Structure 1
Amino acid sequence: MRKIIYTICCILAGIGLYSCSLDEPSYGKTTSDNYYQKESDIEQALTGAYLQLRTTWNEYALNHYFIGDCTTDDALKGGGGDGDRAEVQDLSNFTVYTTNGEVGRRWEILYRLINRCNDVIYYAPNATGDKTTLTRYANEAKALRAFGYYCLVTTFGEVPLVTVPMQPTEILKVPRSSTEDVYNLIIADLTDASELPAKSAYSAADAYRVTRGFAKTMLAKTYMFKGDYASAETVLHEIVDVDKDYALLSDYGMNWRPAYENSTESVFEIANKVYDKTVATGTNVPHFFTSRRVTGYQGYGFHVPTQDLYNAYDNDDPRITYVFTQTGDRYVGDTEEQDNTESPTGYQDYKMTVPAVEKQGLDVWMISYNIRLIRYSDVLLMYAEALNENGKSSLALPYLNEVRGRARNSNPIDPRRDMQKYTPPTTSNTLKDITETNQDALRTIIWHERRCELGMEGWRRDDLMRQKRFGTVMRAYASKYNTSKGANFKDDRDYLLPIPQGERDKSNDVLTQNPGY
């Protein structure tokens, strides 16, 4: 990891890589034929690709949570009122304009990621150096490129398919490709990337590189989104029963403690460790999601858990402790209790709350905290779902119950707090194993378990879309709570985001618009 951090420092200082011009479409850039000549050049280019997910003040994680949760029944925008980050409020209410800044941000970040990956994939085979290492670099780039295209195709539908370095004038002529073509590229890239080393094979210096487990997990997510449960089951079987690269931590709450960063449960983390305080290598995402009223946090109060999400949990579920921060909670080392009086529900996001004691020597703009983007419990629940969809309901139960069993045995009292407003009253009957084998009933149970296990982790929209119930859930939410959130959802429009108008303008309307915008 330190090697990556120091390479990032070089990039931040302007060595080796390029920025896009203002007139250039955000999904293309000019490359230099005399730069990518040797192994060290390719490594720097690959580090530049990783960096696209964590550029200060333009971090992908922030967009992931805003779009992945705040457009769903799991989270409200929060903040300082409807006008504070209004583009997220528009997304939440499904009154999205084609000029929405959050929509444009997603497109820009992901195409910049794809750009950097294209350079590595294109130039690595002919660079001088160790061919095994260069092949690994190319496969890492393929895994990251596939991640970028997955996040694009599942929110925009048809998108331009750019797979090699191109001049801006060429890029402007690239139309949107069919979703099937995009999925085919994703599957091909992730199949190649499945040859990457296992997580345990990397040294400490390379601990946060993407692995075969990440590639296979994204491949499984792709098949699940396409409704190809047979292929998903095959891949998930490899991850869970053959490779065995991962294991659940013994306690659900461990996932968000510093000692367990990049743990056995972590499939993909965006690394934000601060090794050198003179370089802005931390993250500011937690600053956006914590209370607005507590000294040492100075949060903006966004990404607020809904009451509906809270109500989804059994009252004795220990996971409540590690999803919701409530007024009256106090973290060890603090002199003030958490104060969520400005939160529209009274809750804030526990999983992105970094206690002040863990930020000593830093500030709110440079927090040493890794973004836990994909966990192994997600894999287990996908496996259970795929098995159930393939008519193997009884075989799905052990994987579902493995997740529930870990939750059941988790400590309902958070060791990071010395005052806790609510402690789930666990008993021997808490989260009992599921025995249901009716396919329809078990499907509903698995979907519910995903919501509780992965709450506030940015994957809710993804689940509702692939389950083809996004509109049904959101309109029901609007009716239940008599709110505008979800009331405007139109099935023929809101499963996709609009193509950013700025990108259409640059392309001289080569890029078409999605229906309804």
Structure 2
Amino acid sequence: MKRYIIALFLFSMLMVGCDKKLDLNSQKQEQVETYWQTAEQASAGVIAIYNSLIQDGTYMRMMPALTDARGDDFVGDSPWGDLVQTGKFTVMSTSGPVEWVWSQWYQLIYRANQVLTFVPKIEMDQALKDRLFGQAHFLRGLAYFTLANTYKTVPVILTPPVDRQDYYPATASEEVLWQQIIDDLRAAVELLPISYSTVSGPDANQTGRVTKGAAVGMLGKVFLYRKNWAAAAEQFRLLIEGPTLNTYRLMTDYRDNFKPTNENNAESLFEVQFADPETVGGTVFNYGGEPNANWKQVSSVGHTYAMDGFGYSDFLPTRGLYNEFKEERTIDGELDPRLLSTIASFEPGVSELAYGDVWKNPKSNIYPRKYTHDGIPGYTNENNGVENSGINYRILRYADVLLMYAEALNELGQTDQAYPYIQQVRDRAKLPDLASVKPNMTQEQMRDQIAHERFLELAIEGIRINDIIRWGWLYDPDKLAKLKENDNDFDTWRAGKEYLPIPQRELDLNRNLLPNSAN
């Protein structure tokens, strides 16, 4: 059984930090200044950073939803206009979900900044202090990485506010923003342990905390996104070849990466910890606000994505994704097994059930299955039919590392060397040997092949739109035509609208904040 580190903790001084009318002499501000005294308080401060990952604006629901919606693997099917408009690249800057994402990532940054500012003065075990710093750096780096991919340019805030002008941070340049992400992740790599099974202290043997491998993987991903291919390959090579970090492997069953069992497994470099209330308790949904001891630790993604009759069905997989899964059969002549782990579809003689019962929806319909409870033995609905999913959200998987390494090698002109790493992912899906069916690909052909492999392996994991943006597909007429063929939401895309707009309320309150291309 997984061991949860996200304890719901009464930490009243951890404000969101975006109230521009904050009374700097208030009692709450005095608590911030006087709180940080002991190792126990330092550890609790780091737990509070993790707590920000399980709220509605981060991974409880809206971060996956608003990211998946913009890819060509997902299309809106919701009465909630904000969700549909996000997929069509027409969402307004006054959208509530757009603001929640912004606010809760900056809440996380505010909490990380407190740890990094106030914990150095605490007298405590240095090894534990280093681990706490490493986690704070990683989580802040993850936050800025996510904000950069979501809004393109945002303020970079590295310390808690001291005076009134600190509540009006200016928009940073892309160069400053991405350099800060790199700096945070490099610090995390230096400070984090390979595993918590070998440490002593309150975090000993805990799963779910950030590790050195997670930091190396995310640093490699950042270099890849910035087209620093050699630096990216260097990081990924540490995870694949070692000598000390090559402990990851692909799970035999692809679906093990998206179930409430087998979590924090050998394929996972980092995942957000959720839990069923029947396991850890809680009566109040963890949407946001001040956490309290009655908070749940649940994910709403399953219920949001689940098919008609079992959930909100706010999104559907695109026919483009479904059809691409069917382009290639396994070596046994069967469907790609990832199809029915990703998409719920009626396939005569192969898949005719939904939630363990007969298929009740039109047989031509397709629905998301990944991150839902459909098809998992013992579940006949979405975990009691409410937003109570305990399925962890995976941030980085080893399969992604293998495909990114292959991409980096290809971009470095080592196309032939990319084949084996792609094949590891294909082997799990029992697909034919790529070097045999498509030998001697050119660099450009391999780019298209890697894009195809990533589309199928990483579908509905909040990755596709980031790939589309970094590859420049939206500004390539041929690629844009393909995106429109896969998902007609791209018919309403206009240049610059691939990002979420900066929330209007933030622009109204902060005279130093600049709009982005989506405003």
Q: Same fold (TM over 0.5)?
A: yes
Q: CA deviation at 1:201?
A: 3.8
Please state whether the residue corresponding to 1:102 is helix, strand or coil: helix
User: In the aligned structure 1, how far is the partner of 2:479 from the partner of 2:46?
Assistant: 39
- Give 1:488 shift: 2.5
Letter in 1 for 2:193: P
Aligned-pair CA distance for 1:284: 2.3
Are 1:96 and 2:95 an aligned pair?
no
Instruction: Tell me the SS of whatever aligns to 1:494.
Output: coil
Gapped runs of 5+ residues in structure 1? 410-427
Per the alignment, residue 358 of structure 2 pairs with 337
CA RMSD after TM alignment: 2.9
Aligned-residue offset at 1:434 = 5.0
Q: Deviations over 1:100-144 (max 9, x none)?
A: 223212211211111111111112221122111011101101000
AA aligned opposite 2:514: T
For 2:442 and 2:196, the matched residues in 1 are separated by 38
Q: Once the 2 structures are TM-superposed, how far is the Cα of residue 197 of structure 1 from its aligned partner?
A: 1.2
Equivalent in 395, 398, 416 of residue 394 of structure 1:
416
Q: Hey, what does 1:134 align to over in structure 2?
A: 129
Mapping 1:41-60, distance limit 5 Å: 41-55=41-55, 57-60=56-59
The whole-number CA distance in structure 2 between the counterparts of 1:439 and 1:63 is 36
Q: How does 1:49-198 map to 2 (within 5 A)?
A: 49-55=49-55, 57-79=56-78, 84-167=79-162, 169-195=164-190, 196-198=192-194
Name the aligned partner's letter for residue 462 of structure 2. Answer: G
Corresponding letter in the other structure for 1:337 = V
Does the 8 Å CA contact 1:125/1:135 hold for their aligned counterparts? no
Residue 481 of structure 1 deviates from its aligned partner by: 6.9
Shift of 1:256: 2.5
Correspondence list, 1:241-252, <5 A: 241-242=241-242, 243-252=245-254
Q: How many Å apart are 1:482 and its aligned residue? A: 9.0
Aligned counterpart for 2:257 among listed residues 255, 258, 278: 255
Letter in 1 for 2:317: P
Against the structure 1 CA distance between its residues 169 and 338, is the aligned structure 2 distance closer, same or farther, given a 3 Å change threshold?
farther
SS in 2 for 1:352: coil
For these two proteins, the number of residue pairs brought into alignment is 477
- Counterparts in 2 of 1:424-503, with a 5 A limit? 435-472=439-476, 475-476=480-481, 480=485, 483=488, 485-491=489-495, 493-503=496-506
Whether the 8 Å contact between 1:36 and 1:42 is mirrored in structure 2 is yes
How far 1:184 sits from its partner (Å)?
1.1
Q: Which amino acid aligns with 1:494?
A: K
State the Cα distance separating 1:78 from its structure 2 match.
1.6
Structure 2 counterpart of 1:311, one-letter code: N
Q: CA deviation at 1:489?
A: 1.9
- Find the aligned partners of 1:360 and 1:222 in 2 and give their Cα distance: 35
Question: Match of 1:219, SS?
Answer: helix
Matched residue, 1:415 = none
What is residue 339 of structure 2 aligned with on the other side?
320
| Cα 1:325–1:175 shift into 2, 3 Å | same
Q: Which of 296, 302, 307 lines up with 1:291 in the alignment?
A: 307
Q: Residues 117 and 142 of structure 1 are in contact (CA less than 8 Å); yes or no, is this contact kept in structure 2?
A: yes
Provide Cα deviations, 1:33-82, integer angstroms capped at 9, x if missing partner. 11011111111111111011102x44425223223221121101123xxx
Q: 1:266–1:2: structure 2 CA closer, same or farther, 3 Å change rule? A: closer
Q: Secondary structure at the match of 2:501?
A: coil
The residue that corresponds to 2:225 in the other structure is 225
CA distance in 2, matches of 1:210, 1:490: 38
| C-alpha displacement of 1:216 | 1.3
Separation in 1, partners of 2:158, 2:486: 45
Q: Which runs of 5+ in 2 are unaligned?
A: 283-293, 330-335
Query: Where do 1:263-282 residues align within 5 Å?
Result: 263-274=265-276, 275-278=279-282, 279=294, 280-282=296-298
Give the C-alpha shift of residue 95 in structure 1: 1.6
Quick check: 1:381–1:450 contact (8 Å CA) kept in 2? Answer: yes
Name the CA distance, whole Å, in 1 between partners of 2:259 and 2:486.
34
Q: Using a 3 Å threshold, how does the CA distance of structure 1 residues 201 and 467 change in structure 2: closer, same or farther?
A: farther
2:516 pairs with 1:511:
no
In the other structure, the counterpart of 1:4 is: 5
Among candidates 15, 22, 28, match of residue 19 of structure 1: 15
- CA offset at residue 514 of structure 1? 1.6
Deviation at 1:321, TM superposition (A): 1.6
Q: What does the per-residue CA deviation read over 1:454-485, in whole Å, with 9 as the maximum and x for residues that have no partner? A: 011110011111111135478425753794x1
CA–CA distance in structure 2, aligned partners of residues 221 and 91 of structure 1? 25
- The answer to whether the Cα contact below 8 Å between 2:319 and 2:486 also exists between their aligned partners in 1 is no
Match of 2:212 in 1: 212
Q: Relative to 1, partners in 2 of residues 1:4 and 1:503: Cα closer, same or farther, differing over 3 Å?
A: same
